[in-house]
Amino acid sequence: MNMKKSKKLVDRRKHKRFKVPADAFAIVKNPCFKLGQIADMSLGGISFYYISGKGFSKNIAVDILLADDDLYIDNLPVSIVSDVNVHLNESLDKTSFKRCGLQFEKLTSHQLSKLSCFIPKQDSGYLQDKRFILF
């Protein structure tokens, strides 16, 4: 009898991820300006979709905007965890997208306080998720 070994996947995240409304955006300004729609967020970091182009430099900061709620946090220090090509929609005329995962680094107490405004109090995420999937 041939027994297959099964690997147990271990989630290494320290913070639970939450979906965010469709009006949540990440803005990276160095070395060039990139705007992306946030896919999910936690107190540990964010992931967002953006149109492919020139890559990011090693030391970057990100701004987060939640437009409908007038929430804006600027200059959050982050490190890039992942930056991968994704296929989101075949009808978008060869436009290519990437999904970037960022981990927050050494946030100030003020930044943490503002960031907690984005994170829902319920474990299930935003109750009124208005997400309109653009990608």
Where residue 24 sits, what CATH number does that domain have?
2.40.10.220
Rounded CA-CA distance 74/16 in Å is: 22
Residue 126 in domain: no
Would you state the pLDDT for residue 35? 92
* Residue 112 forms part of a structural domain: yes
- Predicted local distance difference test score (pLDDT) of residue 131: 36
Question: Mean pLDDT of successive 10-residue segments in the chain (135 residues)?
Answer: 50 70 87 87 90 80 86 91 80 77 92 79 45 38
- pTM higher than the cut 0.85: no
Q: Total domain count for the chain?
A: 1
User: What is the reported pLDDT for 93?
Assistant: 65
Q: By the 8 A CB rule, do 41 and 119 touch?
A: yes
**What was the pLDDT predicted at 133?**
37
Domain that holds residue 30: 19-116
Pick the closest to residue 114 from 73, 61, 56 (CA basis). Answer: 73
Quote the pLDDT of residue 4: 52
